[in-house]
């Protein structure tokens, strides 16, 4: 084993030049099939790699294992530029450290991925604007679910490394969005009264938070608005011991809205009034007269929804004026009163959906009080921003986290800031972020409608 099966005179210079991967030499062209057989350039030298484990130089070729990959050559624009690569990869044995066996190290493809890096990058870039399956189909390569994560991570890491470093904001807000069944924390910068998107994290664990926080300048962050989450609170305290950590009015509004939505979904089934929910969640004073009448008609038959609506509107009103924790707790405790006037007709189930607000106010009383003690609201437009992001993501067809993060981070340019001769990124303004997400959602949907050939889309195959 390990003797040379291929000779240097087998190398095909034209095909090797066309392939243009400096590590590789083409030793066989399987034309008319678009398929090259390749070996590492080292194959023809007597020069063996050092052991990756012990660094020893006493290594010997042991065997050759064929690795099948898809690659793209030539103009790299269309399916016909895609070829098969059969890589006769050499494995070596290290005689120094317990006969360890290791493969020839390569830089043109990641371990375990069936595409070369340059093809991966093209697929990953395409995925920013359409579904992964669709991009793979355009290039005529199999859409392997197992590899999309590593393909996107590689590209994202590279593109992220091209971004200027983040200028640590003085104030940040962290809120958790639900995307299909997963929850992802979104990080916003609140500097200069402008809300900007900074990043979205792969999970809401203490580890995920700490990893992100460690990239910030801990002395620069003065205020952190958080969602009511113990992991987040303790991670923020550890990372920024001198910062103000607060639960904001926006957060209480958002959780109240979520609670009201639960009542709405339970009570307004089979209700055909268009855009009813979006009419209900805004402050009542903004309702148009015709909406007001339609809403009254719906409410007449749904006492529990009606009571919850009045309670929800009362809370919005309270938050507009002067409020404190006690006042909101009183509101939460008065839920049975809202139902009283309906009790005479027939029993109505209690409204327990708003109990979450009492929990937040009790468990995070300190953080709510921190917010109330701030001299000024760090970002009056925060509520509009979180609502806009939630709605935009609610319309996005399913994709894995890496694709979601890449679509949010890489499709829209960051605002930049210069200090001396160094450029920093400030984040992406929310209106630009959201409008780009809608563009992407629309593009994915249009492509799907134009293509009714039964091909699996991300959304359908994920079972949502
Ligand atoms: Zn070794």
User: Which are the contacts of 57, defined by CB distance < 8 A and separation ≥ 6?
Assistant: 48, 50, 51
pLDDT of residue 255 exceeding 50, the answer is: yes
Q: How remote is the CA of residue 87 from the centroid of ligand 1, in Å?
A: 24
Instruction: For residue 315, give the nearest of 350, 291, 351, 269 by alpha carbon.
Output: 351
Which CATH number fits the domain 161-247+366-461, given the four candidates 3.30.420, 2.40.30, 1.10.150, 1.20.120? 3.30.420
How far apart, in Å, are the Cα atoms of 331 and each of 280, 306, 326, 343? 19, 16, 9, 19
Q: How remote is the CA of residue 113 from the centroid of ligand 1, in Å?
A: 25
* pLDDT value at residue 90: 95
pTM of the model: 0.83
> What is the mean pLDDT of the segment spanning 266-274?
81
Instruction: For residue 175, give the nearest of 241, 256, 229, 221 by alpha carbon.
Output: 229
Q: How remote is the CA of residue 106 from the centroid of ligand 1, in Å?
A: 18
Q: What single string gives the DSSP state of each residue in 59-112?
A: EEEEEEEEEEEEEE-TT--SGGGEEEEEEEEEEEEETTTTTEEEEPP-SSS-TT
DSSP state of 456: P
CA 204 to chain centre: 12
Q: How remote is the CA of residue 3 from the centroid of ligand 1, in Å?
A: 21
Q: How remote is the CA of residue 64 from the centroid of ligand 1, in Å?
A: 19
Q: How remote is the CA of residue 105 from the centroid of ligand 1, in Å?
A: 14
Q: Is 174 exposed, middle or buried (0-12, 13-18, 19+ CB in 10 A)?
A: buried
pLDDT of residue 149 exceeding 50, the answer is: yes
How far is it, in rounded angstroms, from Cα 112 to Cα 75? 26
Q: How remote is the CA of residue 98 from the centroid of ligand 1, in Å?
A: 7
Q: Is 331 exposed, middle or buried (0-12, 13-18, 19+ CB in 10 A)?
A: buried
Domain ranges of the chain: 1-108, 161-247+366-461, 250-363
Q: How remote is the CA of residue 61 from the centroid of ligand 1, in Å?
A: 13
**Average pLDDT of the chain to the nearest whole number:** 90
Question: What kind and span of H or E run contains 177?
Answer: strand 171-179
How far is it, in rounded angstroms, from Cα 129 to Cα 126? 6
CA dihedral of 127, 133, 137, 142, whole degrees rounded to 10:
110
Q: How remote is the CA of residue 97 from the centroid of ligand 1, in Å?
A: 4
Reported as a single tens digit per residue, the pLDDT across 241-254 is 999 999 999 999 99
How far is it, in rounded angstroms, from Cα 70 to Cα 86? 9
User: Which are the contacts of 202, defined by CB distance < 8 A and separation ≥ 6?
Assistant: 184, 208, 401, 405
Reported as a single tens digit per residue, the pLDDT across 11-37 is 999 999 999 999 999 999 999 999 999
Q: How remote is the CA of residue 319 from the centroid of ligand 1, in Å?
A: 67
Q: How remote is the CA of residue 57 from the centroid of ligand 1, in Å?
A: 8
Reported as a single tens digit per residue, the pLDDT across 58-105 is 999 999 999 999 999 988 888 889 999 999 999 999 999 987 899 999
Q: How remote is the CA of residue 107 from the centroid of ligand 1, in Å?
A: 21
Q: How remote is the CA of residue 40 from the centroid of ligand 1, in Å?
A: 21
User: Which are the contacts of 189, defined by CB distance < 8 A and separation ≥ 6?
Assistant: 169, 171, 172, 195, 196, 198, 426, 427
Residue 374, helix vs strand vs coil: coil
* pLDDT value at residue 454: 45
pLDDT of residue 182 exceeding 70, the answer is: yes
Q: How remote is the CA of residue 424 from the centroid of ligand 1, in Å?
A: 43
């Amino acid at each position: 084993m390990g003797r040379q099966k291929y000779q240097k005179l087998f190398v095909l210079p034209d095909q090797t030049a066309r392939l243009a991967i400096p590590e590789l030499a083409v030793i066989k062209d399987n034309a008319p099939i678009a398929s090259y057989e390749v070996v590492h350039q080292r194959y023809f030298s007597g020069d063996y790699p050092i052991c990756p484990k012990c660094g020893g130089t006493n290594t010997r070729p042991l065997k050759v294992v064929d690795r099948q990959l898809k690659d793209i050559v030539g103009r790299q624009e269309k399916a016909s530029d895609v070829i098969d690569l059969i890589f006769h990869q050499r494995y070596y044995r290290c005689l120094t450290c317990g006969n360890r066996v290791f493969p020839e190290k390569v830089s043109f493809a990641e371990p375990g991925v069936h595409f070369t890096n340059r093809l991966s990058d093209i697929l990953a870039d395409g995925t920013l604007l359409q579904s992964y399956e669709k991009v793979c189909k355009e290039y005529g390569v199999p859409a392997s679910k197992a590899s999309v994560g590593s393909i996107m991570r590689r590209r994202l890491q590279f593109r992220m490394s091209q971004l200027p470093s983040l200028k640590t904001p003085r104030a940040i807000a962290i809120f958790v969005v639900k995307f299909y069944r997963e929850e992802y924390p979104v990080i916003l910068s609140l500097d200069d009264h402008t809300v900007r998107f900074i990043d979205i994290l792969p999970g809401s664990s203490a580890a995920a938070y700490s990893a992100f926080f460690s990239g910030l300048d801990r002395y620069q962050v003065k205020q952190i608005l958080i969602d009511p989450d113990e992991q987040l609170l303790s991670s923020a305290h550890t990372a920024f011991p001198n910062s103000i950590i607060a639960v904001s009015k926006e957060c209480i509004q958002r959780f109240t809205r979520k609670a009201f939505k639960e009542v709405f979904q339970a009570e307004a089934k089979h209700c055909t009034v268009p855009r009813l929910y979006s009419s209900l969640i805004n402050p009542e004073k903004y309702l148009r007269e015709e909406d007001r009448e339609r809403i009254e008609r719906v409410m007449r038959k749904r006492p529990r929804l009606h009571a919850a609506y009045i309670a929800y509107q009362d809370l919005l009103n309270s938050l507009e004026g002067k409020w404190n924790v006690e006042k909101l707790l009183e509101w939460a405790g008065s839920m049975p009163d809202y139902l009283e006037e309906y009790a005479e007709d027939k029993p109505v189930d209690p409204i327990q959906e708003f109990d979450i607000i009492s929990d937040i106010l009790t468990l995070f009383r300190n953080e709510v009080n921190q917010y109330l003690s701030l001299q000024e609201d760090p970002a009056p437009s925060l509520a509009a921003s979180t609502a806009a992001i939630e709605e935009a993501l609610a319309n996005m067809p399913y994709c894995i986290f890496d694709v979601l993060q890449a679509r949010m981070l890489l499709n829209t340019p960051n605002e930049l800031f210069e200090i001396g001769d160094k450029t920093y990124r400030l984040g992406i303004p929310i209106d630009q972020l959201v409008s780009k997400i809608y563009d992407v959602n629309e593009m994915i949907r249009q492509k799907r409608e134009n293509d009714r050939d039964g091909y699996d889309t991300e959304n359908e195959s994920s079972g949502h």
